[in-house]
Amino acid sequence: GQQVMQIPQYQHVQEGEDFTTYCNSSTTLSNIQWYKQRPGGHPVFLIQLVKSGEVKKQKRLTFQFGEAKKNSSLHITATQTTDVGTYFCAGYTGGADGLTFGKGTHLIIQP
Amino acid sequence: DAGITQSPRHKVTETGTPVTLRCHQTENHRYMYWYRQDPGHGLRLIHYSYGVKDTDKGEVSDGYSVSRSKTEDFLLTLESATSSQTSVYFCAISRGQGSNEKLFFGSGTQLSVL
């Protein structure tokens, strides 16, 4: 079945440093979605990428979808304490599998 | 936040007992999902429903059953709970399963099986 690998599993940064998490799929994706889960909370949808090579920005967050539509990244510039949480990617192939989630990257920020 | 309510929020039970978790939505969305979240495993799909009485298995369906008798309610049942089913369970909904559909999650149920 479809697999979505996400790295790193954990990332410690000093407040103000940048952060990046990467997703790789074993198969070509129709789209990829990103979710954020605050500690003790539930996943919340951030964004969806559909086109090959697509780049989208949300304030300090930059999302990219690879040219082959098999990988994606989320980059946060100048992290703040409000960025703490787990970031999940979720890939969609269009088949019966639906969305397949990566295992997430836990972002820990030290003030 | 989307109108999704999970109950109970916390449950402690003993091995071998049946447990039912409830998900209730007020959005009239067609698709409903049950996920479990465990450290190191992320979110794994247990079962999903694409309409009343229409359900299908996900990645980790063994030991779980579901029912959907009304659009707004999706029940997850552990017929005989085991310690390996200790987890956080999330319900999610979406309008459809097409390439543009995003998931809205409930607040989760923390289940401990002793």
> What is the structure's pLDDT at B96?
73
> What is the structure's pLDDT at A111?
81
When pLDDT is cut at 50, 70 and 90, the band that residue B18 belongs to is very high
- Record the tokens describing residue A95, joined without a space: 């088949």
What residues of chain A lie within 8 A of the CB of B103, using their CB?
33, 35, 43, 45, 90, 99
When pLDDT is cut at 50, 70 and 90, the band that residue A97 belongs to is low
When pLDDT is cut at 50, 70 and 90, the band that residue B41 belongs to is confident
Nearest to B42 among A44, A98, A103 (CB): A103
| Of A9-13, A45-49, A98-102, B46-50, the least confident | A98-102
- Of chain A, the end-to-end C-alpha distance in Å amounts to 41
| Of A13-27, A63-77, A89-103, the least confident | A89-103
> What is the structure's pLDDT at B2?
67
Check if the beta carbon of residue A83 is closer than 8 Å to that of residue A21: no
Compute the distance between CA of residue B92 and CA of residue A28 in angstroms, rounded to an integer: 24
- Residue type, position B71, single letter: T
Neighbours of A105 (CB within 10 A): 22
Residue with tokens 């090579």: A53
> What is the structure's pLDDT at B43?
93
Q: Do A99 and B103 touch (CB under 8 A)?
A: yes
> What is the structure's pLDDT at B113?
97
Check if the beta carbon of residue B69 is closer than 8 Å to that of residue B15: no
Closest CA relative to residue B68, chosen from B76, B60, B57, B80? B76
When pLDDT is cut at 50, 70 and 90, the band that residue B99 belongs to is low
Sequence-distant (≥ 6) Cβ neighbours of residue A25 within 8 angstroms = A2, A3, A4, A5, A32, A70, A71, A91, A100
Q: Do A43 and B102 touch (CB under 8 A)?
A: no
Cα angle for residues B5, B23, A33 (degrees, 5° grid): 85
Residue-wise pLDDT for A21-38, tens only, equals 999 998 999 999 999 999
Residue with tokens 């920020």: A109
Nearest to B41 among A35, A44, A103 (CB): A103
Compute the distance between CA of residue B46 and CA of residue A2 in angstroms, rounded to an integer: 16
Compute the distance between CA of residue A33 and CA of residue A63 in angstroms, rounded to an integer: 10
Residue-wise pLDDT for B54-86, tens only, equals 999 998 999 999 999 999 999 999 999 999 999
Compute the distance between CA of residue B103 and CA of residue A61 in angstroms, rounded to an integer: 20
When pLDDT is cut at 50, 70 and 90, the band that residue B98 belongs to is low
Compute the distance between CA of residue A105 and CA of residue A86 in angstroms, rounded to an integer: 5
> How far does the CA of residue B39 sit from the closest CA of chain A (Å)?
9
Compute the distance between CA of residue A108 and CA of residue B51 in angstroms, rounded to an integer: 39
Three-state SS at A83: helix
A92 touches B: beta carbon within 8 Å: yes
> What is the structure's pLDDT at A95?
66
> What is the structure's pLDDT at B1?
59
Interface test with A, best of B6, B91, B102, B104 (most A CBs within 10 A): B102
